[in-house]
Each structure stands twice: as structure tokens, then as C-alpha cells.
Amino acid sequence: MSISPVSPGISGGTAAAPAVGLGSGAFGRLLTQFVGDAGAQQAHAEQAVHNLVAGRADNVHNVMLAMAKADLSFHLVLEIRNRLSDAYQEIMRMQV
């Protein structure tokens, strides 16, 4: 059975500096996706309400589901923002 090394950058006993750019921007893209999804859910809920008011839709249940999904998406983004803010404040309180 052959065992491959976990980090291919380390060979022959010499340690290489870790790559800083590894995965950079992935977290930002994830946050952008969350905000975009929340905005899309909100737009869908608004359209469902407009359709219900205009008489183009008669299923109140689906409209309420769309509104609940939009609300849940908004609260998810809000909680992520709050946690990031708390983490930033905690880092700023650290003494060097």
C-alpha cells in the first residue's frame, strides 16, 4: 500500500512557505452568492405578492411560502453579518 504525502510542497526535509493565495476569494464569492440568493428570494416573494393582488394568482399558500423563504434568507444573511462583525471586533480587541 502506498501512502501519498498530504502536502506536495514539502519534500526532502525542506519546508516551503505556505501558499497564501490558496483559495483566496472563495469566502467572498460565497458571501456574494448568499446575498444574491437572498435578493432573488425577496424579488420572487414581491412578484408573488403583486400577482396575488392583481388577481393573476389565487394560491395564498404559495405566496406565503415565498415570503417565508425570503424572510429566512434575509435572516441568514443578517446572522452571517452579525457573526462576522463580532469576529472582527474580537480580533481588534486582541493585544499584540
Q: Kindly report, residue by residue over 4-17, the tens digit of the pLDDT.
A: 666 544 444 444 44
Least confident of 42-46, 53-57, 81-85: 53-57
Rounded average pLDDT over 37-47: 95
What's the burial of 66, exposed, middle or buried (CB within 10 Å: 0-12/13-18/19+)?
Answer: buried
| DSSP per-residue codes, 30-69 | HHHHHHHHHHHHHHHHHHHHHHHHHTS---HHHHHHHHHH
DSSP designation for 18: P
Q: Between 4 and 76, where is the model more confident?
A: 76
For the chain, which residues make up each domain, given as ranges?
26-93
pLDDT band at 76 (very low <50, low <70, confident <90, very high): very high
